[in-house]
Amino acid sequence: ISRPKITKCIVVEPNSYGYSEPFAGGKRIILLSEGSSGKIIRVQGGWSLIAIGDGRSAWFESEQWKRIYPEYQLK
């Protein structure tokens, strides 16, 4: 289990199911569509625990999400 430094992320697949536990045999509790955003709380294996804006959180397959890196301005 690790805590990522970059935590903002978005769904990059047409749909992403959120599960109650970090495996596909868990109960599906959330369905999000491409472009939905969240915050990575924890990573375990190929799964990420992601909190979404309405206060809910669930385990999602990490490959269905991409981190959003902050933009840096050059002077």
d(CA 57, CA 74) in angstroms, rounded, equals: 36
pLDDT over threshold 90, residue 22: yes
Within a domain: 72: no
- What's the pLDDT tens digit per position in 28-62? 999 999 999 999 999 999 999 999 999 999 999 99
**CATH number of domain containing 24:** 2.30.30.40
Within a domain: 2: no
Within a domain: 75: no
What is the number of structural domains in the chain? Answer: 1
Bridge partner residues of 39 (DSSP): 8, 51
Long-range contacts of 45-52, Cβ-Cβ distance < 8 Å, separation of 24 or more: 47/22, 47/23, 48/9, 49/22, 50/9, 50/18
Domain residues for the domain of 63 are: 8-67
pTM given for the model: 0.85
d(CA 14, CA 24) in angstroms, rounded, equals: 18
